[in-house]
Structure 1
Amino acid sequence: MATHSPLLFFLLSTYLLFPFGFGAESESYFHVIKVTFLLPPLRCSTPKGSNHHENKKGVLKLDHRYGPCSPLGHHGKPPTLGEILSQDQSRVNSLQSRFKAQFHQVEDTKTTTLPAHLGTLVETFNYVVTIGLGTPKSDLTVVFDTGSNLNWVQCQPCAGASQCYPQQDPIFDPSKSSTYLNISCSSQDCSLLRSATGHSTICDASTSTCVYTSIYVDNSFSMGYFARDTLALTTSDVFTNFAFGCGQSNKGLFGRIAGLLGLGRNALSLISQTAKEYGRVFSYCLPPTSSSNGGYLKFGSGDTTSVKFTPLLTDPNSPSFYFLQMLGISVRGQQLNIDPSTFASPGTIIDSGTVITQLPMSAYVALRSAFRESMSNYTMAPAFSLFDTCYDFSQQDIIIVPKVVLHFGGNVDVDVPLLGIFFIRSASQACLAFAGNSDASDLAIFGNHQQQTLQVVYDLASDKVGFGVAGCT
């Protein structure tokens, strides 16, 4: 019996799915891939061409918190995919609640009161970088978040587990740093804490030292002295008098991270504090899988020749967040019948801390319908967590997946990377990785799962956000 080559098998299977031809025009609307490509490797891998980002000015190596490349190691059992999605939905819920509360307070300040402890966003904490703090410097692995403003790390003294949670790196000891200095209660920076954290400032009367409080919706918290010290992002990127929270009392679901870098738009964020050096420009590329170490976080301008920019908007109710003008969605080269006003109110934010992109329900239903129609040749699998459109590819070798494109203002089209289209539980349960909002008044959120492998550039000086393809390589 004659045997068929893999190429012939591919051509035959393609013809069965597209009996009228699969020319260059139609091919640009689909991903054609092996199912094994969807399954991340268990070992740390380096994508070809990714190392050119390392050891450069303003560039930090970025890793997935729970992946095999993570500097946090593997202590204990990592959360399941279901638990990660549950935490992600908690973050989304807290973001929506905070936005609505602030909106109503601005709408009628005489009759509406902001809750006393609305709380900072629940952090999904997906991606980590390593920084240096103090003189001599201590290396600390922290998460970064565009939805947060305050920078903080755990600090000594920690009398016991009730005051500090276990972390991978040695806990920062300010007494061993010659450049550490507490911020006084009378400092202007102390007065900025309320807008950065959403909580009232406290003064330690015995030392006249400003005290910060960052309380999260899941009851996690970090509290301590507001201080200054020397921050080293790289050996050549050193900042004196960097303001941060030095937490003597910390508790919650933070894992083994040392703290947090806030990349929001508030005056206390890392972006604002390093504005003279970097011009309020930063970018990142999130690696394609949790097993890849090809990601980076970069501060300052760089090569943006292949980047297309969309206007960055500001919402007066939530001035720290990054708002974009989302206009529509295309599937398989066809723009869906979605009224652009669907995304206009209350708006769309891009957020590094939210995993799954959240859409207005009418937009999600249109996306789901078009995607299911294009995938009608494949066997559907049971729903999983947030997802109601899942497929069983366990009997497939090659699959053909329709491309999904998000349309933004400024004529910017973002082709969602293939691994951002699916959330993979296994070969027998690959789910469309989008979710619909439960309320018509909810924000649309462009999550990090759909940003993977993109070069995402935030240019606050020019009020724009850009997207480029193959950012990690």
Structure 2
Amino acid sequence: MAWGACALLLLLLVLGAGGGGGVHCLEVTRSRRALQRRHHLRSRAESGATILELRHHGGGGGGGSGKSGGRSREEELGGLFSSDAARVSRRVLGGGRGGGRVPVTSGARLRTLNYVATVGLGGGEATVIVDTASELTWVQCAPCASCHDQQGPLFDPASSPSYAVLPCNSSSCDALQVATGSAAGACGGGEQPSCSYTLSYRDGSYSQGVLAHDKLSLAGEVIDGFVFGCGTSNQGPFGGTSGLMGLGRSQLSLISQTMDQFGGVFSYCLPLKESESSGSLVLGDDTSVYRNSTPIVYTTMVSDPVQGPFYFVNLTGITIGGQEVESSAGKVIVDSGTIITSLVPSVYNAVKAEFLSQFAEYPQAPGFSILDTCFNLTGFREVQIPSLKFVFEGNVEVEVDSSGVLYFVCLALASLKSEYETSIIGNYQQKNLRVIFDTLGSQIGFAQETYPTVDHPVHIDNKKHNTNL
């Protein structure tokens, strides 16, 4: 389908979540004044799409003291990784056409390692986590009975004349019940009961409220009657964000609701967190706005009616330093909202063993949170990191950027608890890749898309990444 020159781009600016240290130790020179600049939005036309640039607004997320809310940086990261592990096995328990560009930035300043977008909702704005595994967009609403600590004002339905709560007899309420797998509990009392929702996650986080609709603004592209969750009771590791942007496979996701505008196609590229460059989230199939340096290769999406909102593909192999370690890893989820890639134990153990074999010259160190393969790199000025490559169905090979192999001094992969769980490819291993989700074509594409950085370059050969410390 020729949605072509009508794609929607959203810029993602990523700020490093951790400072220096570890295997990356890449020196980034930024002045305090530069980090404290407010957002400067600038629009421009590019191949028919409207592009809005965003600069980072410094502030929260640990600041210069390494403390946040009385916790050390290590404790905060450990908590985020623990929640990430719980998210991997989460289950919901109950109930290009057009043009435009939306404010999107790193979640670092909002105490989350995920990527966030700022969109217009009603007469205000909401900064939400970009999440391909969520079936519903939801934001915190006033008055809020119990809300997580949000930076910025809550969405106030009373201030938006276009806001309306959806009744129980609406098709959207029916779709909600299908998406959550619950046929009861969505309706309240009264002559015209509202449609309520409850989204619960394995780590204990949740969002509860009512289903509503309002105008959604994506940098000038207005979506009338956009259905979302107006949450009045929300708790979890959402940092200082307003909520979640649901990009999953459900009737209520942003992708499904904008099918007429963007044809069910979207893509993103997540830049290095150590860089000051920006990535992009594109709604629509206009490939001319991509900056990929390699051809796009596609693998087939795998359907799973039991776990509908997720994007599945078949992982057929993994190589470490050019050495194949697993020839049939099975079904995996590609997810922008999970940080670290998690693999079933048999696959993870095979990858870990091969990595340790090729990384044997570096002494091991105690594990950190869900990362159990760590190293003592004190005194090393240069570290040779074995390359990591995923092979998907159709012999689609995707090499992980060198910055996605180690998280500081630990192998940036984790093990699931059971062989019966589903592996997930997290956003830390998707950096500097253009990932394309074609929901109508039932395929996911990958291409290298490297952004220029302010750091010194990483020199790469065929089998090893040489990272200067």
| 1:141 is the counterpart of 2:134 | no
Measured against aligned partners, the alpha-carbon deviations of 1:284-332 in whole angstroms (never above 9, x if no partner) come to 1223116645132221113267221111111122121111110111122
Contact kept in structure 1, 2:129 and 2:243, CA below 8 Å: yes
| Deviation of 1:348 (Å) | 1.1
* Pairs within 5 Å for 1:116-265: 118=93, 126-134=114-122, 137-158=123-144, 162-199=145-182, 200-206=184-190, 207-235=192-220, 237-265=221-249
Give the partner amino acid of 2:212. A
Distance 2:74 2:149 in 1: 23
| Deviation of 1:454 (Å) | 1.2
CA spacing shift, 1:254–1:37, aligned 2, 3 Å: closer
1:445 corresponds to which of 413, 424, 428: 424
| 1:315 is the counterpart of 2:308 | no
| 1:366 is the counterpart of 2:350 | yes
Residue number in structure 2 paired with 1:462: 441
TM normalised by structure 1 equals 0.75
Distance 2:126 2:302 in 1: 33
Instruction: Give the helix-richer structure, 1 or 2.
Output: 1
Give the partner amino acid of 1:180. Y
After the TM superposition, which of the residue ranges 201-210 and 400-409 deviates more from structure 2? 201-210
Contact kept in structure 1, 2:23 and 2:406, CA below 8 Å: no
CA spacing shift, 1:70–1:190, aligned 2, 3 Å: farther
Distance 1:72 1:82 in 2: 16
* Pairs within 5 Å for 1:86-125: 86-93=79-86, 95-96=88-89, 98=91, 118=93
Contact kept in structure 1, 2:93 and 2:180, CA below 8 Å: no
TM normalised by structure 2 equals 0.75
CA spacing shift, 1:52–1:302, aligned 2, 3 Å: farther
Distance 1:439 1:40 in 2: 39
Residue number in structure 1 paired with 2:333: 349
Residue number in structure 2 paired with 1:31: none
After the TM superposition, which of the residue ranges 239-248 and 294-303 deviates more from structure 2? 294-303
Distance 2:61 2:75 in 1: 21
Give the partner amino acid of 1:297. L
Measured against aligned partners, the alpha-carbon deviations of 1:154-213 in whole angstroms (never above 9, x if no partner) come to 12234xxx4334322221122221211221111111111123334444323234222222
Distance 2:185 2:451 in 1: 40
Distance 1:411 1:389 in 2: 28
CA spacing shift, 1:36–1:444, aligned 2, 3 Å: closer
Residue number in structure 2 paired with 1:77: 68
CA spacing shift, 1:401–1:73, aligned 2, 3 Å: closer
Measured against aligned partners, the alpha-carbon deviations of 1:112-131 in whole angstroms (never above 9, x if no partner) come to xxxxx8369xx976111100
Contact kept in structure 2, 1:149 and 1:264, CA below 8 Å: yes
Give the partner amino acid of 2:418. D
Give the partner amino acid of 1:77. S
Distance 1:256 1:201 in 2: 29
| Deviation of 1:142 (Å) | 1.0
Give the partner amino acid of 2:271. P
| Deviation of 1:434 (Å) | 1.2
2:316 corresponds to which of 300, 324, 327: 327
Contact kept in structure 1, 2:302 and 2:313, CA below 8 Å: yes
Distance 1:412 1:464 in 2: 12
**5+ unaligned residues in a row in structure 2: which ranges?**
1-20, 96-110, 453-469
| Deviation of 1:70 (Å) | 6.2
Distance 1:295 1:423 in 2: 20
Contact kept in structure 2, 1:124 and 1:354, CA below 8 Å: no
Measured against aligned partners, the alpha-carbon deviations of 1:223-282 in whole angstroms (never above 9, x if no partner) come to 2221111101112x2110100111233344433211211110000000100111111111
Structure with greater Cα Rg:
1
**5+ unaligned residues in a row in structure 1: which ranges?**
1-33, 99-116, 425-429
Distance 2:366 2:433 in 1: 30
CA spacing shift, 1:439–1:362, aligned 2, 3 Å: same
| Deviation of 1:214 (Å) | 2.2
Residue number in structure 1 paired with 2:403: 419
Identity, in percent, stands at: 37
Equivalent residue of 2:226, what SS? strand
Distance 2:341 2:237 in 1: 23
Contact kept in structure 1, 2:80 and 2:237, CA below 8 Å: no
Give the partner amino acid of 1:444. S
Contact kept in structure 2, 1:222 and 1:249, CA below 8 Å: yes
CA spacing shift, 1:368–1:153, aligned 2, 3 Å: same
Distance 2:431 2:301 in 1: 20
CA spacing shift, 1:382–1:288, aligned 2, 3 Å: same
CA spacing shift, 1:227–1:283, aligned 2, 3 Å: same
Residue number in structure 2 paired with 1:398: 382
Q: Report how many aligned residue pairs link the two structures.
A: 396
Give the partner amino acid of 1:131. V
Equivalent residue of 1:166, what SS? coil
| 1:277 is the counterpart of 2:256 | no
Distance 2:179 2:387 in 1: 39
